[in-house]
Amino acid sequence: MDKQRAIAKAVTGLDSGYIEEADQPEVQKKKRPMWKPVLSAAACVLLVLGLSLFRPAPLKVTVNGQNVLRGTVSYSLDADVQVMRLSLETEIPLTLDPGSKGSLTLTADENSTLLLDGQETRALTLTEKTTCTWVLLPGADGYFLQLQQGKEDWCIQAVPEDTGIITICQVR
């Protein structure tokens, strides 16, 4: 018996309800990047604030639930793509261990929570009174969160999930 032919015929006999169900598009789509328009809106508000005050917009930021010393956000166009840069100055040690989770909360909007779930074998430690820069870059498959500390430059791919949380899936 031709196995592939039998499989093809058997699949043709699938329940009509399933066939119609599969052709209903975009049921999940609305759930995807809920935070994206929120961030865009927040970007506009903060940009206006920043321009009007001629200094980076002040932003209350918590990392792993703790306040950081200072946080500033700025926006720019890099190759026609709007990029949000968030600079944090922290006096608490911030460690991203493999598999650990950290959260970066922008109080501009409660929904803008980033969950960090590092899977790299190395750990990135932001030591006391170190300034690091977080850069959120839109990409084809999701977002790239770039962290800079001193001469080190980390780029992390982030994939938006249904909840509006982005989960870090790759460190490179």
* Contact positions vs other proteins (CB under 8 A): 1, 3, 5-32, 141-142, 159
Pick 9 or 60: Cβ nearer other proteins: 9
Pick 18 or 54: Cβ nearer other proteins: 18
In angstroms, what is the minimal distance from the CB of 22 to other proteins?
A: 4
In angstroms, what is the minimal distance from the CB of 26 to other proteins?
A: 6
In angstroms, what is the minimal distance from the CB of 24 to other proteins?
A: 8
Pick 21 or 97: Cβ nearer other proteins: 21
**HEC assignment per residue over the chain:** CCHHHHHHHHHHCCCHHHHHHHCCCCCCHHHCCCHHHHHHHHHHHHHHHHHHHCCCEECCEEECCEECCEEEEEEEEECCEEEEEEEEEECCCEEECCCCEEEEEECCCCCCEEEEECCCCCCEEECCCEEEEEEEEECCCCEEEEEEECCEEEEEEEEECCCCCEEEEEEC
In angstroms, what is the minimal distance from the CB of 3 to other proteins?
A: 6
Pick 17 or 99: Cβ nearer other proteins: 17
